[in-house]
């Protein structure tokens, strides 16, 4: 999706005009993929823009940095304040928010200078990640030939820049084959996740989703859906899922900050249930939209007003 420039980007504690937000071409993170980031969304509410689960996102960013031996030079509260200020000053009601920590210009090599941590935060308008048609009718997935990163290769629990080459290969392959996204498997053949979203199956009214131990990112939208589903009285099980089990699901949907909640219409040309938006998917998506729109007091704790 094309970027829409906004007036300011936060860089190392300063507000910088969009076109001036630059780093050196010899920044080690550009060469070796050593950086961590987050994807966050702000939503329009009746009382102004609100950022969804901001503190949880900042905590995950710090966890990712810890995995990669990076010490963030700002506290969680400073980063929360920076995000809220950036949303306000750019005048957005709804937007996507991208904090990133990377290694600044300095030494070069595969053992980088880990104390040269820089940070930036950008915000911009971003609509439906998989497109309006996928939102309305369900997305079409294909199982990728590329395996999901395992815990023994690149740590999947950390949201690292270089690790997303794995996701990009799967996504590009799916798009070139005419699909909306890819479904990635583990080395043992179990379902992990889509290229940049977690997966849920619905069978007999109950939800199943792969466990974090199968190499999935511990998604914040995933966690939100699990909480909301259980609050609705739905059974949710986290367990390994063989590939063929996906084909016989009554419904399936993807979750993620960018994707939000998107129904899955088919996998490998096999329609799931009646296709489109299933009843459980619709129930959860409707609730999610009420929550992020500030229309459900029971989850007001998840919103940080800008």
Contact (CB, 8 A) for 146 and 173 = yes
Quick one: tokens of 17? 């005009």
Alpha helices in the chain (DSSP H): 28-32, 54-67, 76-89, 132-137, 164-176, 220-231, 243-247, 279-292
> Could you say which of 22, 118, 133, 159 is catalytic?
159
Contact (CB, 8 A) for 144 and 137 = no
Cα separation, 86 vs 135, in Å, equals 29
Beta strands in the chain (DSSP E): 8-11, 14-17, 35-37, 40-43, 50-52, 95-103, 117-124, 139-143, 181-185, 191-194, 198-203, 206-209, 236-238, 251-256, 260-267, 270-271, 303-305
Contact (CB, 8 A) for 130 and 140 = no
Is 171 considered catalytic here? Answer: no
Cα separation, 195 vs 129, in Å, equals 12
Cα separation, 284 vs 49, in Å, equals 22
Picking from 230, 240, 246, the residue whose alpha carbon sits closest to that of residue 284 is: 230
Q: Spell out the residues 6+ positions from residue 227 whose beta carbon is closer than 8 angstroms to its own.
A: none
Enzyme catalytic residues: 159
């Amino acid at each position: 999706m094309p970027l829409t420039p906004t007036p300011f980007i936060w860089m190392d504690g300063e507000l910088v005009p969009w076109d001036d937000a630059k780093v050196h071409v010899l920044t080690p993170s550009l060469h070796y993929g050593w950086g961590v980031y987050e994807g966050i969304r702000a939503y329009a509410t009746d009382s102004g823009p609100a950022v969804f689960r901001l503190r949880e996102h900042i905590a995950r960013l710090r966890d990712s940095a810890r995995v990669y031996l990076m010490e963030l030079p700002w506290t969680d509260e400073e980063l929360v304040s920076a995000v809220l200020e950036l949303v306000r000053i750019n005048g957005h009601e709804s937007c996507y928010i991208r904090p990133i920590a990377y290694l600044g210009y300095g030494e070069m090599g595969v053992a980088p200078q880990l104390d040269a941590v820089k940070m930036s935060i950008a915000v911009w308008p971003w609509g439906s990640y998989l497109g309006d048609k996928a939102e309305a009718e369900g997305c079409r997935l294909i199982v990728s030939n590329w395996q999901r990163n395992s815990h023994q290769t690149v740590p999947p629990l950390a949201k690292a820049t270089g690790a997303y080459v794995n996701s990009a290969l799967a996504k590009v392959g799916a798009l070139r084959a005419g699909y909306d996204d890819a479904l990635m498997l583990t080395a043992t053949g179990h379902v992990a996740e889509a290229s940049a979203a977690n997966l849920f199956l619905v069978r007999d009214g109950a939800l199943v989703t792969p466990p974090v131990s199968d190499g999935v990112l511990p998604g914040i939208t995933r966690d939100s859906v699990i909480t909301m589903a259980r609050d609705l009285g739905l059974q949710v099980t986290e367990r390994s899922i063989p590939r063929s089990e996906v084909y016989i699901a009554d419904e399936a949907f993807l979750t993620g900050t960018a994707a939000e909640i998107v129904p899955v219409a088919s996998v490998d040309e096999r329609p799931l249930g009646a296709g489109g938006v299933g009843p459980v998917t619709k129930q959860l998506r409707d609730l999610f939209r009420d929550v992020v729109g500030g229309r459900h007091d029971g989850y007001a704790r998840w919103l940080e007003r800008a």
